[in-house]
Amino acid sequence: MPVNKVVSSAEARASLASLLNEIEDLGEHVIITRRGKPLAILLSYEEYERLLETLDVLSDPELMKAVQEGEEDIKRGDIASLNEYLKDREERLA
């Protein structure tokens, strides 16, 4: 994750265009403060969409259960290569 830049609300107001360019070009997050306390954050729309998608996945109990089961399979060594999976799938569909 990129290093966050911290600016005051007054500085953000005065330099919004350049902050938006930094977010777009460098992938930075900009923390906006008021009286020295974090107030808001500027981040790219793509990053915002990724965060929403992550929250969606994390809030889906069935999907999280599947992820946990997959992690347990890996710990047990119960894994297959892509080629093994495709061969097994082909055999089951035939």
The reported pLDDT for the residue numbered 94 is 82
pLDDT by residue for the chain (94 residues), tens digit each?
Answer: 555 899 999 999 999 999 999 898 888 899 999 999 999 999 999 999 999 999 998 999 898 899 899 899 899 988 888 898 888 889 888 8
User: Domain ranges in the chain?
Assistant: 4-44, 60-93
With H, G, I as helix, E, B as strand and everything else as coil, classify residue 80.
coil
CB atoms within 10 A of CB 83: 8
The reported pLDDT for the residue numbered 8 is 96
Residue 4 sits at φ, ψ, to 5 deg, of -80, 145
Question: Alpha helix (H) ranges present in 1-94?
Answer: 9-14, 16-26, 45-58, 61-76, 82-93
What predicted TM-score, i.e. pTM, was given to this entire model? 0.62
CATH of 4-44, one of 3.40.50.1950, 3.40.120.10, 3.20.20.70, 3.40.1620.10: 3.40.1620.10
